[in-house]
Amino acid sequence: MEYRRLGEHGLKVSELSLGAWLTFGEQIDEDTARECMLAAHEAGANYFDNADVYAHGIAFAFVRSLCYDSPIQSNRSTPFQASLLSYGD
C-alpha cells in the first residue's frame, strides 16, 4: 500500500480507501461488511470513506464501531474515517 502525508501535521493516509456508500447496512450484511473492512485493513488501508446519509446512518455507525472495537483499532495505526455531512431535508 502506498501512503500520502496529509496536511501540515503529516498524517499518513493510505492512497486507497474503502467506501461504505450504499452497501453497508442495506445491500450487504454486517458480517460481509466486517470482512471487507478487515481485508482492506490487512492490505494496508487506513482510510474509510463514509457519510451520515449512507444507508440512513447505518453505514456510518457500523464503520465507526468497527474502527474502534476491532483489530483495526488495536493494530499499528489509527484508522481515518472521512465523512460527508448532508444539509437539507
Residues marked as catalytic: 54
Reading phi first (left if > 0) and then psi (alpha if -120 to 50, else beta), residue 88 is in left
Reading phi first (left if > 0) and then psi (alpha if -120 to 50, else beta), residue 7 is in left
Place of cell 455531512: 85
